[in-house]
Chains A and B, each alone.
Chain A
Amino acid sequence: MNCIIIDDDTAARLIIDQLCKNTELVVKEEFSSAIEAIKYLNSNSIDVAFLDIHMPTFSGFDFIKTLKTPLKVILTTSDKNFALEAFEFDCVVDYLVKPIGVERFNKSLDKLFGLSPAKLIVDENTNEIENKDFIFVSIDKRLVKIKIPEILLIEAKGDYISIRTAQKSYIVHSTLKKIEKKLPSDLFLKIHRSYIINTSEIIDIEDNSVLIEKYVIPISRSHKQEFIKRLNLL
């Protein structure tokens, strides 16, 4: 698993780097500025960031709000008072108060690996799963069953896809193209280059978007005709 360290304090970065040694984490880069890290993430795929909250001009929370790629964040801070605010963000896995001890750091990694991105179990040679009502994703050596009819939508996110059900979301290292082959085509439809939806879950349609549960999904011009065909219009 790849990680980056973002902290304006040199000693703090050195300590996290040291703590990462002899773990499954590979430190790819270190940044004293969160803005530099954002630029780096635009062209590099990273799984986790160790992130300081208090940094001049651009704070750790500013960084999280700017994130466009799926990334897990472990906050590292000298301040105990931001934990509640921190866990408002879905990407935050843990909140470490400096100075960070080895035991506490390892506990954090246990949490992190428990949340590591799932891998879609795909057999490239068969579409047999179309006849089944579930798919399996692998999360930390555990296969998790997702019932296909319960999938609301699937969103492409860089090298990952987010499979949303009413109960939870699964971040999976895969592509829309791969999962599309595994879904029943009478139920699921690609309506945008970044979205496949479960058509039975549509609540309403307005101009160029559909509403599914609380999600407003755009319909692209190129997919609109196929989408209209599929509607049971009066």
Chain B
Amino acid sequence: METPNLDYLRQISGGDIDFENSLLSILKLEFPIEYIVLSNNFKNSNFDKVALDIHKIKHKIGMLGMLNSVDLASECEKNIRKGNTEQYKDLVLILERINVYLKNK
């Protein structure tokens, strides 16, 4: 499984530390909230909302340099709209890993 990293942030920051810190602060603030919302919607089998939540959170997965995980999230988003939840457990593993990573940043 991919590991979250700051390579993408550093690539676009061009050495702008203020930008890197701002973006990281936003991720640390918003990611856990979006993850909780997504989990709750899944528990309530509200799959249309889950698909929207995945759509939103997958950009943050990409920001942390996990491009294969973005592809998995896209597949999961597409399938969950059809009621197919097979990939959800794999997505949760990715989201958990990011959650831990951001908590320690």
B62 touches A99 (CB 8 A): yes
> Residues of B within 8 Å of A, CB-based: how many?
23
B63 touches A15 (CB 8 A): yes
B23 touches A79 (CB 8 A): no
In the complex, identify which listed stretch (B11-19, B40-48, B82-90, B92-100) lies at the interface while the others stay far away: B11-19
A9 touches B12 (CB 8 A): no
B56 touches A9 (CB 8 A): yes
Q: From residue 10 to 54 of chain A, which have CB atoms closer than 8 A to chain B?
A: 10-12, 14-15, 18-19, 21-22, 54
Q: From residue 38 to 96 of chain A, which have CB atoms closer than 8 A to chain B?
A: 54, 78-80
- Give the Cβ gap from A146 to chain B, nearest Cβ, in Å: 40
Mostly helix, strand, loop or mixed at chain B's interface?
Answer: helix
B11 touches A11 (CB 8 A): no
- Give the Cβ gap from A5 to chain B, nearest Cβ, in Å: 14
Please, how many angstroms separate the alpha-carbon atoms of A167 and B14 in the complex? 43
B11 touches A101 (CB 8 A): yes
Please, how many angstroms separate the alpha-carbon atoms of A155 and B10 in the complex? 46
| Chain A to chain B contacts (Cβ below 8 Å), 14 pairs | A9-B56, A11-B26, A11-B30, A14-B19, A14-B22, A15-B63, A18-B14, A18-B16, A19-B12, A78-B70, A98-B59, A99-B59, A100-B12, A101-B12
